[in-house]
A and B are shown apart, each in its own frame.
Chain A
Amino acid sequence: MAKQKLQFSPDNPPLLPLSRRSVLQALGISSTAAVLGSGLAQAAGSAAAAPGDAAEPGAQILNMTVNGEPHSLKIDPRTTLLDALRERLQLTGTKKGCDHGQCGACTVQVNGRRVNSCLSLALMHEGDAISTIEGLGTPEQLHPMQAAFVEHDAYQCGYCTSGQIMSAVALANEPYGTSDSDIKEAMSGNICRCGAYSHILKAIKQARG
Chain B
Amino acid sequence: MHPFTFNRASSTDQAVKWGAAPNVRFIAGGTTLTDLMKLGVEHPTQVVDINRLPLAEVERTPEGGLKVGALVRNSDLAWHLAVKQGYPVLSEALLAGASGQLRNMATTGGNLLQRTRCMYFRDNLSPCNKREPGTGCAAIGGANRTLAIFGTSEHCIATNPSDMNVALVALGAQVHIQGNHGSRVVPVGEFFLLPGSTPQVETVLQPGELITHVALPPPLEGAKSGYLKLRDRASYEFALASAAVVLQIDGGRVRQARVALGGVGTLPWRSPAAEQALVGAPASAATWRAAAEAAVRGAKAQSENGFKIELAKRCVAQQLATVAARV
Contacts and interface: CB of A to CB of B under 8 A. Distances in A.
A120 B235 contact: no
Interface string B74-118: 010001000000000000000000111110110000000000000
Interface in B12-66: 27, 29-31, 34-35, 37-40, 47, 49, 51
Interface string A88-118: 0000000000011100100100000111101
Interface string B216-246: 0000000000000000001110000000000
A126 B101 contact: no
B298 interface: no
Interface of A: 42-43, 45-46, 49-50, 58, 60, 77-78, 80, 99-101, 104, 107, 113-116, 118-121, 123-124, 126, 167, 170-171, 174-175, 184-191
Contacts of A119: 29-31, 34-35, 102, 105
Contacts of A186: 100
B101 A189 contact: yes
Given A50-B1, A116-B31, 13 more contacts: A42-B38, A43-B38, A45-B1, A113-B104, A119-B30, A119-B35, A119-B105, A121-B30, A121-B34, A171-B100, A184-B234, A184-B235, A188-B234
B5 A77 contact: yes
A114 B101 contact: yes
B307 interface: no
A114 B1 contact: no
A113 B105 CA distance: 9
A100 B4 CA distance: 19
A186 B235 CA distance: 9
B145 interface: no
Contacts of A175: 79
Contacts of B236: 188-189, 191
B35 A46 contact: no
Given A101-B35, A124-B30, A77 B101 contact: no
29 contacts: A42-B38, A43-B38, A45-B1, A77-B5, A78-B37, A80-B34, A99-B38, A100-B35, A100-B38, A101-B35, A104-B101, A116-B101, A116-B102, A116-B105, A119-B30, A119-B34, A120-B30, A121-B30, A121-B47, A124-B27, A124-B51, A174-B79, A175-B79, A184-B234, A184-B235, A186-B100, A188-B99, A188-B236, A189-B100
Interface of B: 1, 3-6, 8, 27, 29-31, 34-35, 37-40, 47, 49, 51, 75, 79, 98-102, 104-105, 124, 234-236
Contacts of B6: 60, 77, 121, 123
A77 B39 contact: no
Contact of A174 (B4, B5, B100): B100
Contacts of B27: 121, 124
A191 B30 CA distance: 21
A99 B38 CA distance: 9
B235 to A, nearest CB: 4
Contacts of A191: 236
Contacts of B101: 104, 107, 114-116, 167, 189
A115 B101 CA distance: 4
Given A58-B3, A77-B5, A115-B105, A189 B98 contact: yes
B38 A189 contact: no
Contacts of B100: 114, 167, 170-171, 174, 186-189
Contacts of B104: 113-115
Contacts of A167: 100-101
